[in-house]
Amino acid sequence: MSNNEEVNVRVDPALERGLIVANQLSYQMLPLLGICSARTHTIGFPQQSVYTNGETMSWDSQTGSFFVDPKGCYLKFSITHTIVNGGSDEAKRIKCFGSGSACNLFSRVVVRTRSGKELTRVENLNLLSKFVQLYNKPLDWVKTAGRAQGFSDPETVSEVYADEVPVGGKTFIIPLCDIIPFFNTIGNSLLPPQIFEGLRIEITLADPNVAFCNVDQDQGVGSVSTYTIHRPQIYWDCFTIADQFARRIAEIAATQGLHLLHKEYFHSSVGLEGTELNFDIKKAASKAMAAHVICREQKYITGDDAKKADSMASAPYDWTSIQCQIGSLYNPNQPLTVSDISTNGNMEAYYFALYGNDSLSYSNTTCITPESYTGEVQTAGDKSVYNNTMVTFNLNKSNLEIVGSVINNSRALLINMRKNQQVAGSRIDAWLVHIRAVKCFTSNAVVAD
């Protein structure tokens, strides 16, 4: 039989409809799958209209019966600051957020239900937010949408370290998903009113010398004595769904409970004076997903150097051996060793960090370049890159998103790393990423790690 010969093939109606759709010959209206009847932006105002450094901004959600899409919610505010001991040279008094963004201003976030149950808490939020965003965002993001948040174009780093934050004020926009882990629920796009109505958000403001640094780190003078946040507002992306579906969800909340999962970050901090880093993260979790480790020099966090240097910058890459352990399981199996501490020599460590942050696929590119991962010494006027070294251990046992490792009192997570040279006064910040389950009922919630 010739391939070109026309042959009549009998097909049943179901196959016929399938072939029409497969060949893009269907001209019927698509079914309406949406059940939302309205969408709007509502504005949430805090308890005060003005906050200064050291204070805690507080919001109580008043979204009523709306369902809220956290990915469309954002925080808007403007900021002014005051400089002391700046001298007469105006150019040397210019301040910026360094390698970070306006998230530098936030040291802690706590979210509670209206009954007082704590849903999420993140310490050292400013540092974590900077690194997690840069490792999980594409390079063009930091040059576009990231600019509204306060990030600077990394290609401009030289004598001008970052974009100026004017003394007279500037407005910033921060997506709430980038600072509140609970808003990044797994498998759910809308948060129900049963948990959102009366939700309290508390954001503690950081020390001004941690949040700001000099644009000219070498010759800059003066320090930020205080900063003020004006008119902070949260814009909620709210939806109204059809009554029969809202009633069904309310029935489930009253009987079975609504299940929500998100990634939570547990913070640990230790000092390092020698070259050997060995410590355990004291947190029990049934699904530990990853561990982030960042090394900084203490003098750039507190003291006179912190007044001009970038407190959000990591120390340059200097690890000759990295490995973690949970019971008898090692990650990686053999310690990852680096004999040549340079951009070319630590390429395997760079690749391992991208693997740990799931940034190797084409859909999950990253802002982190090999040069910024390696970093350089913070001596200022001649800096050419931001320091973004973060060692990440991937603890997920499966290619699925929420199959992690079990950590408890008998199977602690041990971090074993070795530096090339001793740096007195090093500080290690580590975050254990684990899954938190929230079971939401009509009037309360149950939280389990």
CA–CA separation, 174 vs 67, rounded Å?
A: 21
Q: What angle do CA 39, 45, 48 make, to 5 degrees?
A: 175
SS3 state at 356: helix
The pLDDT value recorded for residue 385 is 86
**Contact assessment for residue 149 and residue 143, using Cβ atoms and an 8 Å cutoff:** no
Q: In the chain, what percentage of residues exceed pLDDT 70?
A: 92
CA–CA separation, 152 vs 162, rounded Å?
A: 6
Of the pLDDT bands very low, low, confident and very high (cuts 50, 70, 90), residue 201 is: very high
CA–CA separation, 94 vs 83, rounded Å?
A: 9
The pLDDT value recorded for residue 1 is 45
299-348 residue pLDDT tens = 888 877 777 788 999 999 999 999 999 988 899 999 999 988 888 989 99
169-183 residue pLDDT tens = 899 999 999 999 999
434-444 residue pLDDT tens = 999 999 998 88
The pLDDT value recorded for residue 220 is 62
**Contact assessment for residue 229 and residue 105, using Cβ atoms and an 8 Å cutoff:** yes
* CATH architecture of residue range(s) 36-448: Distorted Sandwich (2.70)
Residue found under tokens 């899409």? 69
* 86 vs 200 pLDDT, higher one: 200
**Contact assessment for residue 129 and residue 265, using Cβ atoms and an 8 Å cutoff:** no
**Contact assessment for residue 128 and residue 121, using Cβ atoms and an 8 Å cutoff:** no
The pLDDT value recorded for residue 389 is 93
Q: What is the DSSP string of 199-213?
A: -EEEEEEPPHHHH-E
CA distance from start to end of the chain: 65
Q: In the chain, what percentage of residues exceed pLDDT 90?
A: 41
Position 209, amino acid: N
Q: Which tokens hold the place of 257? A: 């409970």
- The alpha-carbon radius of gyration of the chain (Å, integer) is 25
Range scoring the smallest mean pLDDT among 3-12, 217-226, 323-332: 3-12
Alpha carbons within 13 angstroms on the beta-carbon side of residue 57 total 26
The pLDDT value recorded for residue 57 is 95
pLDDT at 90 over 50: yes
pLDDT at 92 over 80: no
Closest listed residue to residue 351, CA positions, set 366, 363, 334 = 366
Domain boundaries, the chain: 36-448
394-404 residue pLDDT tens = 998 877 667 88
pLDDT at 149 over 90: yes
**Contact assessment for residue 180 and residue 59, using Cβ atoms and an 8 Å cutoff:** no
Range scoring the smallest mean pLDDT among 164-168, 303-307, 365-369, 402-406: 303-307
CA–CA separation, 56 vs 206, rounded Å?
A: 10
CA–CA separation, 292 vs 314, rounded Å?
A: 13
What is the pTM assigned to this prediction?
0.89
97-128 residue pLDDT tens = 988 999 999 999 999 998 889 999 999 999 99
Average pLDDT of every residue of the chain = 86
CA–CA separation, 88 vs 378, rounded Å?
A: 25
| For the ranges 30-34, 50-54, 399-403, the one whose mean pLDDT is highest | 50-54
The pLDDT value recorded for residue 169 is 87
Measured in whole angstroms, the distance separating CA 106 from the mean position of its chain's CA atoms is 12
CA–CA separation, 128 vs 265, rounded Å?
A: 9
Closest listed residue to residue 41, CA positions, set 14, 74, 18, 77 = 74
**Contact assessment for residue 358 and residue 377, using Cβ atoms and an 8 Å cutoff:** no
Cβ-count burial 305-343 (b if 16+ within 10 Å, e if not): bbbbbbbbbbbbbbbbbbbbbbeeeebeeeebebeebeb
pLDDT at 246 over 70: yes
